[in-house]
Amino acid sequence: MVKSGQPKIFSCVFDVDVLCSFRKSERFGIMDRCFGCSHHKDFVRFMEEQDAEVMDEIDRLRREGYGR
């Protein structure tokens, strides 16, 4: 519980399970310092893995067709 006068700590832009002491509001977006954060690096790696999986599936569908 946040007592009055204490700042609220918001979630990381890239991982809602991680609190970020640099965010000042829910609307506060990505800051320059975010790009050096390990959570950003994890997010980028995850997104690249997801993209590769989707592209592999597209390639498979093109090779084998949609009916298989």
CA gap 48, 27 in Å, rounded:
26
If we measure between CA atoms, which residue out of 66, 46, 47 comes closest to residue 57?
66
Phi-psi domain of 31 (left: phi exceeds 0; alpha: psi -120 through 50; beta: other): beta
Is 8 or 56 the better-scoring residue by pLDDT?
A: 56
What confidence score (pLDDT) does residue 21 get? 87
Is 67 or 50 the better-scoring residue by pLDDT?
A: 50
What's the pLDDT tens digit per position in 2-50? 566 677 889 999 999 999 988 888 887 889 999 999 999 999 999 999 9
Averaged pLDDT for residues 46-57: 97
